Amino acid sequence: MALYATDHGDFYPYSGGSGFSYWPNFLGHYTKTSYFPMVSVNGGSTTQYGAKVISCPSAATPVIDDEYGSRAYGMVAFSAYGASAGARRWTTNNNHLLFGDPWVSAPGLNSPGDYIKSTKMKQMSEFILFADSSFAITHATYAGQDRCYFFLHADWASSSYGLSLRHSGRANMAFYDGHAASRNQAGVKGGVMKVLYGISAEGLFREF
């Protein structure tokens, strides 16, 4: 991920949108770069792609399209419901004050959406780069098949975009300063960047 940012002016891949807008495709299949190879995996009628480096080792191979594979490492989502920090609910828990507002437009990088600009970011040691998330890594021609992101406060019922506590009640997380951590439910909810909803150790979407 850092290599990609170095090659693209400190821009990290887009973390929301539609179609081919998600970070695994930017780093692997879609851009045809050599950051890591993505290979097709069996399952369903839609061709799906994965790579060991971006797939949870304990996850199963998908068997149907758009499956809850529980194998992805998702980025914090940029919501497409509005351009302002308030509309994106980035102001929840004062994230705009704690972390800045690093989502910026990056023309020419193969997406109509916004990217994360690391030089506009505060507290890189607490800003979640990616973490265990509930949805599968796939590659398709329409939105909804390559969801590799999660919302910090996805409080609608049966959300498929949650951080996942799938390792005995803990989630593995990486941060923008390069360090990693394993946090339980209290840890993800009580962190500086708070995750308020997600997938419990029992596999259920719930408030943390």
pLDDT tens track for 44-55: 555 556 667 777
- The mean pLDDT of 61-75, rounded to a whole number, is 55
Alpha-carbon distance of 75 to 120, in angstroms, equals 17
Q: What is the mean pLDDT of the chain?
A: 72
The answer on pLDDT for 70 being more than 50 is no
- Among 77-81, 134-138, 191-195, 197-201, name the one with the lowest average pLDDT: 134-138
> How long a stretch of residues is the chain?
208
Instruction: Write the DSSP string, 44-98.
Output: SSS-EEE-GGGB-TTPPPP-STT-----BEEEEPPPTT-SSTTTTTTTGGGHHHH
Query: Is 102 or 203 the better-scoring residue by pLDDT?
Result: 102
Alpha-carbon distance of 126 to 110, in angstroms, equals 28
pLDDT tens string 114-157: 678 889 999 999 999 989 887 544 444 333 344 567 778 766 55
Cβ proximity of 188 and 166 under 8 Å: no
pLDDT of residue 147: 54
DSSP 186: H
pLDDT of residue 207: 86
The three-state secondary structure class of 67 is coil
For tokens 């994230």, what's the residue? 95
How many beta carbons lie within 10 A of that of residue 77, not counting itself? 20
